[in-house]
Amino acid sequence: MTIRSFFAVDLEDKEITKKIVDIQSQLEFPDTRIVFVAPENLHFTLKFLGDIEERIVPELEKAAQNISFNDFELELSGMGCLPNYSYINALYIGVTKGLENLATIAKELESLSGKFNFKKETRSFRAHLTIGRVKRIRDKNPLISKIKENEETYFGKINITSFKLKKSDITPQGPIYTNLFEVKSTK
């Protein structure tokens, strides 16, 4: 049986989550449809695996547990869009501190690709917290203005002590994420 999965760091800070939900509520415009990430699903993707055989999860966990890292702090600041203002398909919150720590873990996870036959990532790792996906937009100017208005907004700091392998079940109400295992820092 295959499962859709990815490695991620969860956003578990209630104050930052509240700030993000407040921003999301300001991004609803006429003739625009944005599917917002639910507060409980906010995360930083480290490595998207796609569909994997469920039977390899124990072996994958064993390999991932060998990734060693210390606790570190992430600072979240600024809002942006991907890929650019000409064609907006995702909205995100940026990371201004701790980028190198996330990138190091992502690189270690990427190195598992060969052993487990995962698709290699062709783009360089770019840490961001997706808060919404733009499905339809007629006039992007109000959205661009709101993004620019929040380019310098400070969201806060979080302490990272682990990352997880998550299973993603896609439903009509949105994705449901289940934690399959967690890799804790060595402190």
**Could you tell me which residue, 73 or 119, shows the higher pLDDT?**
73
Q: Quote the CA–CA distance of 163 and 57 in Å, as a whole number.
A: 15
To the nearest whole percent, how much of the chain has pLDDT over 90? 84
Location of structure tokens 């939900």:
21
Print burial letters for 39-75: b (CB count within 10 Å at least 16), e (below 16): eebbbbbbbebeebeeeebeebeebbeebebeebebe
Q: For domain 2-184, give the CATH superfamily.
A: Cyclic phosphodiesterase (3.90.1140.10)
d(CA 11, CA 19): 12
Please report the pLDDT score of residue 90 as a whole number. Answer: 96
**What mean pLDDT is reported for the chain?**
94
Residue 119 CB-half CA count within 13 A: 11
For 8-35, what is the mean pLDDT?
A: 94
DSSP letter string, 74-102: EEEEEEEEEE-SSSEEEEEEEEEESHHHH
C-alpha 136/C-alpha 148 separation (Å) is 20
- For residue 49, the model assigns a pLDDT of 93
Question: Strand locations in the chain, DSSP E?
Answer: 2-10, 32-36, 43-53, 72-83, 88-97, 128-137, 154-160, 162-171, 174-184
Residues 98, 155: Cα–Cα separation, whole Å: 14
Confidence of residue 172 (pLDDT cuts 50, 70, 90): confident
**Listed residue (155, 14, 161) closest to 73, CA to CA:** 161
> What pLDDT sits at residue 118?
85
Active-site residue flag, 93: no
Distance CA 126, CA 102 (A): 9
- Given a cut of 80, is residue 160 above it in pLDDT? yes
Domain coordinates in residue numbering, the chain: 2-184
Whether residue 187 is predicted with pLDDT greater than 80 in this model: the reply is no
Per-residue model confidence (pLDDT) at position 119: 83
pTM of the model as a whole: 0.93
**Pick the residue with more confidence: 182 or 126?**
182
Q: pLDDT by residue (tens digit) across 43-88?
A: 999 999 999 999 999 999 999 999 999 999 999 999 999 999 999 9
> For residue 149, what is the enclosing H or E element?
helix 141-149
Catalytic residue among 43, 47, 164, 166: 43
* Residue of 46, 60, 127, 128 marked active site: 128
Among this protein's residues, is 43 annotated catalytic? yes
Please state, in angstroms and as integers, the Cα–Cα distance from residue 9 to each residue in 41, 149, 159, following that order: 11, 27, 11
